[in-house]
Each structure stands twice: as C-alpha cells, then as structure tokens.
Structure 1
C-alpha cells in the first residue's frame, strides 16, 4: 500500500467525528500513513484511497444514516480495498468492559464488503446535543462521555499494523 487512507464518519453531535480524528492521528503517527478525514456525506469517491476506515454513531440500534449511505453508495469500490468499521454509541461503560457485536445492518455490510474488522466504542452525549431524543436522554440523566481513547488508539494501532503489512507486500 503506497497511497492514502480515508477515515470517514457519520456523526450528529461530533462524538464519532472525534473518534475518527483519533484513529487518523494514530494511523499517521504509528503507521506513517497519509490520512484524510472526511464526513461520510461529503465523500465523492473512494477511488483515490488505498484503504478505508468508516465509523458511525449508533442511534436506536442503527448506524448513522450518513455512514449507512456511504457504505451503500461506494459498495463496489469498498469491496476492492481494505476496510475497517467502527461504531460509537453505548452511553455506559459496556464498550470498555467487553466486545460488543456490530448491529445487524453493520454486520451485513461487513460480510457484503469483506470488512477486515469492526469494534464498538462508547459514545458521548452532553449538554447542547441536537435532537429531541438526545435532550430526553440528557434530562433523564443518562448522558455523559463514555469514549475510551486508550481503546481507540489501541484499535487504530492494530489497523496501522495491518496496513503496514499490506504496504510491505506491495512492490514499490
């Protein structure tokens, strides 16, 4: 692999975006890779990228709409390159305590696109969040920041390692 990695995300309130940026930072620093971070809705083509990491916030058991549409819109090209997926969303410490299976739609996309891996990170919902459901959750006292950036960095380092191996086997 000699080109650029795309890290893309679907996020409503910025929590998943921040995780995507942390993944990109690790790919750059530990993988020595060129990385571009873009919102899923703004990706016109994945053709310029040699690998893709895509993330989506979880909302009522579904990936963020922009992330779902990204996978559908670019499915042919994504199936031809290394792809990793991540989800963010549980508003409790469960994602740091155990592996959480991907939601059904993500699991189907993983199989269809031959994704190399998936993980779920805790989410973040804090005052000022958009949407009436988010405000209801906050009013009930169930918000907070459950992102574990040590876990994000470890997962991204594993992805970087896989990409380094891929790059080592490609003639320069």
Structure 2
C-alpha cells in the first residue's frame, strides 16, 4: 500500500450517532495522509476501489445495526481480501470508556469469517428526538445521553492509520 491508501468507512445507524463516529474516524485517517470516504453501509455498491475498510454499527438489543450486518454479508468476499476493522457503538453508560467490551456474537462471527484485524466498542448516544419505540422508552426512563468518547475514537483511528502506514 502507498501513503495514498484509500479507505472506506461504512456505517449502519438509526439516529446518526454512529455516522458521527465514522466521520471522526475518517477525519483522523485524512489527517494522516490517507484518502477516506464515509458512506452509509446500505448505499455502498462495491468496495473494490478501496485498499482497506472500516465498518461500524450501532448496537440495538445486543445486535449490530441491520445495515452493517447486511454490508458485511453482501461484501464478505471482498472484505476478506483487504485490511478490515470493525467498531460498535451503543452502551448508554460509561462502560465503553472503563473497559474493553467484547463484540456481540454476530460481530464476533463476522470478525472470524472475514479475518478482521480488530473490533472496538464505543459508547453510544441517545438523545431527545431519537426515532423508534424502544429509543423513546429508554429516553422516558431517563437513560439517554451522549457517552461517546471522541478522544478514544480518534486514538483508535490513529492506530488504524499506524497499521496502514506500516503495511505501506
């Protein structure tokens, strides 16, 4: 790979929190001299133009967002042939900042099948205006908030960039 490595950062999100994490990851990759595109997972037709891929999905009831799940199934063959990193977002508390949270079972299975380099879980965000019955119930119970740690997100994206630079 060259310093102009092209990276796709694809995401599955319902209320935009995971999209913002994907944008933050791509911003760090760009700062490091990589070309990074950010796309909603459901809108990606092909990953053939990319040297590496990062896929993120929000967590809902112990499952990765459906668009992220479908993305890794649809593009599995191509993803297994290039460096791949996965992230999840979702805990609506400080646990993601306090300790490593293992991937949910479906993500763990995809990691093995696709030989992903790493998975990390970041805190999530759920705030007023969120769509969905469960989201509204969580908010009514007072358990919403923004638990994303952008310092940790940027540090992780820096490690991804480091690995891509070493491979160059």
TM-score, normalised to structure 1, is 0.96
Aligned twin of 1:124: 125
Aligned twin of 1:154: 155
Root-mean-square deviation over aligned CA pairs: 0.5
Give the ranges of 4+ consecutive aligned residues of structure 1 lying more than 2 Å apart after TM superposition: none
Q: Which SS does the other structure have where 2:100 is aligned?
A: coil
Post-superposition offset of 1:166: 1.1
Structure 1: give runs of 5+ residues left out of the alignment: 168-172
TM-score, normalised to structure 2, is 0.98
Aligned twin of 1:170: none
- Please give the alpha-carbon distance, in whole angstroms, between the structure 2 residues aligned to 1:4 and 1:157: 15
Deviation per residue, 1:103-126 (Å, 9 max, x gap) = 000000000000000000000000
Pairs within 5 Å for 1:129-148: 129-148=130-149
How many equivalent pairs are there? Answer: 166
Alignment of 1:12 onto 2:22: no
Structure 2: give runs of 5+ residues left out of the alignment: none
Q: Which SS does the other structure have where 1:49 is aligned?
A: coil
Q: Which SS does the other structure have where 1:41 is aligned?
A: helix
Aligned twin of 1:96: 97
Aligned twin of 1:78: 79
Post-superposition offset of 1:142: 0.3
